Structures are given as C-alpha cells and as structure tokens.
Amino acid sequence: MTTTPEIRTVRAPSVLRGRDTHLDAVEAGLIAARSAQGQVLLIEGGSGTGKTRLLREANDRARRAGAHTQTGQAFDGQQVLPFAPLLTAVLNGEPPIAGPDELGTLGTHTDLPHRVVRDLRTALESAAARTPVVVLLDDLQWADNGTIMAVRALTADLRHTGVLWMLATRGDTTPAVRELWNHLAGEGACRLGLPPLTLEMTAQLVADAAGAPAHPGLLALADQARGNPFLILELVRGLSEEDRLRIQDGLATAIGSRLPDRLTGNINQRLGRLSAPARRMVRMAAVLPQRFTAAQLAAVLRCRPSELVEPLEESVEADLVRGDGERLQFQHELLRQAVRESLPASLRCALEREVSDVLVDSGSPPAETTRLMRPEQTGDPSDIADAAADVEQISCLLHGRSEPEGCPPDGRAAFGWSSLTDTEHRVIRLIASGITNRQAARQLSLSPHTVNTHLRHVFAKLDINSRVQLANLAHDFPD
C-alpha cells in the first residue's frame, strides 16, 4: 500500500559508522592513560573521510570518562605562527592546563623552541598527575615545523605519563609530517587509516541521517561517493534542504536526479581554491569518460602532456583526482557529477560534443565514447548497446569506413528514420505526445541528461531542429 510521501528533515547521526576499530583504540588509550601510560594514535585519511568527526567523538568519550581534553588544529597559511596548534590546545582546553600568564613571556626569549617544549611539558605533566589528559591535534598536514618538532619531543618525554595523543593528517601530507609519522610509528604509535565505508555502512549512514532506510535509488546515488562520509551526508542534507528527500512506503527517497546545490556549491568552493590551470583541467576532466588517460586529457585541453604535471599534482593534493593504474579518475563519482553540473547546460553539451570529436579522432574505442555520451545511464543494457552502435557508426563515417571494424553490419542506415535505435524510438513516441524531457526520463527510468542526448542524436539523424518537426515525422512514420 502506497502512503503519502513525508518530507523528512535530516538529523545529525549519533553513531560513528565504520570506525569501530578506531573507537576501540581510543578506549584502550584512555585505559592506558588512567594507568599513567602515554599512547599515540595516528589518524590518516583523505578529505571528507571523517578525521575531524572521529576526533570529536574521541573528545566526547574522553570527557565523559573524566579526562581533560586539549584540542588544537593547524590551518593552511598558519605556518608563520610557530606552535599555534599546540598553544591553542593548552590555552583553550577543557579545562585549560595553562594560561596566558604561564605562556605570555615565551616571545621574549631567544631560545623559543626550547622554552615552548619545556613549558608545555611541565603543563601537561602537571595536569596528567591529577587526571588523564587527551591532546587532539587536527589537520597537521598544515602544521609548522616548530609544532612538528615539539610533538616529536613531547610524545617521547611524556611516554610514562597519563597523556593520550591523537594526531590527524590528510593522506597527501608534507614530507616533514610523513617523517614524524614514520618516527612515531617506529616508537610504538598506533597508525589508523580511514578506509571508505562499505555499501552496508553507507546504507546505515544514510538511514541514520534520513531517519529511514534508503530507497535503492537513493542508495545508488550515495554509493557514488565511494564511501566518503562527508559527501554522503552533504548529499542527504542537501536533498532535505531542497524538500527533495521524502519518506514513502517506509523508505527515504530522493526526488529528481539533479545533485543538490549544497553539494555542488561545496565542490565549487574546492575548485575555487585551485589555480586557474588546475581548475580548467578538472572541469574538462569531468566531461571525459569516468576513467581517462593523461593523453586524452591533454588532447581535449590542446596542450602537451608535460603541461599537465603541475595542474595534476594540484588536483591530486586537493583530493579531487587520483591515479588508477595507467588511467586517472575522480576520487568519487559524485565529485565528477557535481563538477559537470556546475557547468551551464549549454556549455556542458558543447564540451561533450567537442570531447566526443577529440576522442573519436584520436582513435579511442567506441565504448569509451559511449561512457562519455551516457555518463548517468543506469537503465536497460540494450540502451548501452544502442549507444555503442551509434558511436561506432559515427566513428566509421569520420574515418571513411563503410562498416565497423571487427563487428558484423546490423543493416541500420547512418541517417534517416531507419537509422534510429529502439531507445530513440521510445523517446520519440513520448516527446511527440507532448510531455517534457524530464517526464519522459521518469517514464523510461533514464536521467534527463540521457534523454537530451538521445534527442540530439535523433535531430542529427533526421536533419531536423524542432520538436514540432519531430512530432510531424512521428505521425508520418508510425511504429
């Protein structure tokens, strides 16, 4: 029985999904701290994998256990402020273990590093003598050299006191932090990576946020985040903000196929932090097939592969693009889709045609161009076969071949009514009846973008440029 859809407001998940091992390590560290034994936990993961969320959960658990928590964070561009994350932690802890009076004279000394380490060691040691202390430092990939030096010294000096250290950094960290990580691991620190959530964990996270199990369509969309908790939650929250998250028949359902503005806006902010060459490269990469080569990227950018070195390094450091063997791809399909949707529709269509021409001219296999032409296709496999045939036929025409190489002819003409595929016929019947592209997409279980692509092919094959002409032809050539 179908029930009236209920608009659902997203709630903050109270359970940290997929991080049981990490929380067990936190509990073990708190037990060790109560026995006056110091421990170091090294948290490492890419953007959006949940480093900050894990530290926040650890902070809450430590406070409930009666420990003093000292939290600090490094920021990009803050490297000119020596020891800033550590000083912030001890001055703004709950409760603070040092005050401005104790640390206010540090800047007057010429032996500043020695003084900082000495005074911080004294403050931490004194506090740990009364109750366990947990020091949580986030985003150390942006830490200054003084902070890195002080952490290395303090973790060694306070090994036999009740101090638990939780240090977090991104995977693409600096050589100095990488060297610190290796040194601390060699001294017995516990390294904890943050792997992607499994599909089951993704389903649990969506259900936690939406308040109901995910409809298969919503789960499929969330799975494009490749287990990235931040992107999954931004997707669900954005759908809720736009009143596009409904509870129907007990399942959380997404209305429409467009990504929410909250998610695309977040991606645009990340793009805005890139240099102009890297930003242009990422946008063009989003119009390529899901997995692409550096040669293909250079071809569509009209540049030499050597000119991609710096933009590629920058996009990898920004957690936007990653290497996958001999090919490249976006870190998450949601990132790629969000970048695509950030482009105006008319520009995106023009870029798709341009990229399609470049790929065909460069001899790319038709299947690759099919993936470009149909990036959101999730429907009947026969549709993909139809599109592949279309691309192969176009490739034949451009390269002067009468038939596809290595494939038997299917008897279909290149142009005219007889050249249309079964899927194109289904699209024509619906559009000629007067419904919109979006309505046709829903009836065919396709995305609106895919229906638009089919219509472009139909108009080209029939040499027409309006829906009225299409309707007239559909009347003249009934099925």
* pLDDT at 427 > cutoff 80: yes
Q: What is the mean pLDDT of residues 338-353?
A: 86
Q: What is the mean pLDDT of residues 345-373?
A: 71
Residues 20-193: name the CATH superfamily: P-loop containing nucleotide triphosphate hydrolases (3.40.50.300)
Summarised one tens digit per residue, pLDDT across range 447-460 is 777 788 788 888 87
Q: What is the mean pLDDT of residues 103-115?
A: 60
| Buried residues in 392-425 as b, exposed as e (16+ CB within 10 A) | bbbbbeeeeeeebeeeeeeeeeeeeeebbbebbb
* pLDDT at 30 > cutoff 60: yes
Q: What is the mean pLDDT of residues 234-248?
A: 91
Query: Range with the lowest mean pLDDT among 171-175, 353-357, 383-387?
Result: 383-387
Q: What is the mean pLDDT of residues 282-291?
A: 90
Residues 85/147, Cβ–Cβ less than 8 Å: yes
137 forms beta bridges with 72, 167
The pLDDT-based confidence of 439 (bands split at 50, 70, 90) is: confident
β 133-138/68-73 pair status = parallel
* pLDDT at 101 > cutoff 90: no
Residue 26: per-residue pLDDT? 96
Query: Range with the lowest mean pLDDT among 55-64, 71-80, 89-98, 372-381?
Result: 372-381
pLDDT, greater one: 357 or 251: 251
448 forms beta bridges with none
Residue 451: per-residue pLDDT? 81
What average pLDDT does the structure give for the chain? 82
Query: Range with the lowest mean pLDDT among 200-209, 272-281, 300-309, 412-421?
Result: 412-421
Residue type, 194: L
The CATH class of the 374-479 domain is: mainly alpha
Q: What is the mean pLDDT of residues 382-386?
A: 43
Question: Helix or strand or coil: residue 218?
Answer: helix
Residue 102: per-residue pLDDT? 55
* pLDDT at 407 > cutoff 50: no
Q: What is the mean pLDDT of residues 346-366?
A: 76
In sequence order, which ranges of 225-260 are alpha helices (DSSP H)? 229-241
* pLDDT at 464 > cutoff 70: yes
Residue 448: per-residue pLDDT? 77
* pLDDT at 468 > cutoff 80: no
Residue type, 398: L
Q: Which residues contact 303 (CB under 8 A, 6 or more apart)?
A: none
Neighbours of 434 (CB within 10 A): 9
Residue 453: per-residue pLDDT? 79
Q: What is the mean pLDDT of residues 311-338?
A: 90
* pLDDT at 341 > cutoff 80: yes
pTM above the 0.75 mark?
Answer: no
Q: What is the mean pLDDT of residues 96-112?
A: 58
Tell me how far apart the 2 most distant CA atoms of the chain are, in Å.
91
The pLDDT-based confidence of 388 (bands split at 50, 70, 90) is: very low
* pLDDT at 182 > cutoff 90: yes
